[in-house]
């Protein structure tokens, strides 16, 4: 009986640690994403931007209510990597948004671990199905 109680307590502690870890990742992940997006926005506004003109013009456009011209989005990983290496503000903002989109997928993946620890096979199966659907949608470009 004592061994069963000890095992149950260890599993409860592991569950609590896992749930706290998930909360930590989500909380600080959102803060990190917001920081990356803010950094890209800061660069976009206050730096000379080769494609978008000087920062003074951008600020005048924003304060006058004019819409900024559309900026082409990187469509391949190599373009994205080059944009990051050049500190392209639009690519940095895109990186922050991609990280923000990845957080729910990461959360579902971490929930898989939680259900394995709990040995809750029904919810594990459901969560694996949701994770597979999310990953399939991301890989097909529909999410």
The answer to whether residue 68 scores a pLDDT higher than 60 is: no
| Secondary structure tally for the chain: helices H, strands E | 5, 0
The answer as to whether 111 is a domain residue is: no
Q: Which domain holds residue 58?
A: 2-102
36, 99 contact by CB (below 8 A): yes
Question: Average pLDDT in the 70-76 region?
Answer: 63
List pLDDT tens digits, range 8-48: 667 778 778 888 888 999 999 999 999 999 999 888 877 65
The answer as to whether 116 is a domain residue is: no
State how many domains the chain has: 1
The answer as to whether 114 is a domain residue is: no
Place of tokens 């917001």: 34
The answer as to whether 119 is a domain residue is: no
Question: Average pLDDT in the 49-60 region?
Answer: 60
The answer as to whether 137 is a domain residue is: no
- Reduced to 3 states (helix: H, G, I; strand: E, B; else coil), residue 53 is strand
The pTM score is 0.69
Q: What is the mean pLDDT of the chain?
A: 80
In this prediction, residue 112 carries a pLDDT of: 92
DSSP 114-141: HHHHHT-HHHHHHHHHHHHHHHHHHHTT
The answer as to whether 108 is a domain residue is: no
The answer as to whether 135 is a domain residue is: no
Rounded-to-integer distance, Cα 37 and Cα 93, Å = 5
The answer as to whether 87 is a domain residue is: yes
How many other β-carbons are positioned within 10 Å of the β-carbon of residue 83? 18
């Amino acid at each position: 009986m004592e061994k069963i109680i000890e095992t149950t307590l260890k599993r409860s502690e592991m569950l609590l640690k896992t749930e706290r870890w998930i909360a930590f990742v989500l909380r600080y992940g959102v803060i990190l994403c917001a920081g990356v997006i803010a950094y890209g926005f800061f660069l976009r506004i206050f730096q000379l931007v080769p494609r978008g003109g000087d920062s003074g013009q951008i600020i005048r456009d924003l304060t006058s209510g004019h819409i900024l011209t559309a900026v082409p989005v990187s469509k391949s990983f190599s373009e994205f990597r080059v944009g990051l290496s050049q500190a392209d503000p639009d690519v940095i903002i895109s990186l922050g948004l991609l990280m923000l989109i990845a957080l729910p997928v990461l959360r579902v993946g971490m929930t898989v671990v939680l259900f394995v620890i709990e040995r809750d096979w029904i919810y594990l199966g459901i969560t694996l199905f949701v994770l597979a659907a999310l990953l399939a949608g991301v890989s097909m470009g529909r999410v």
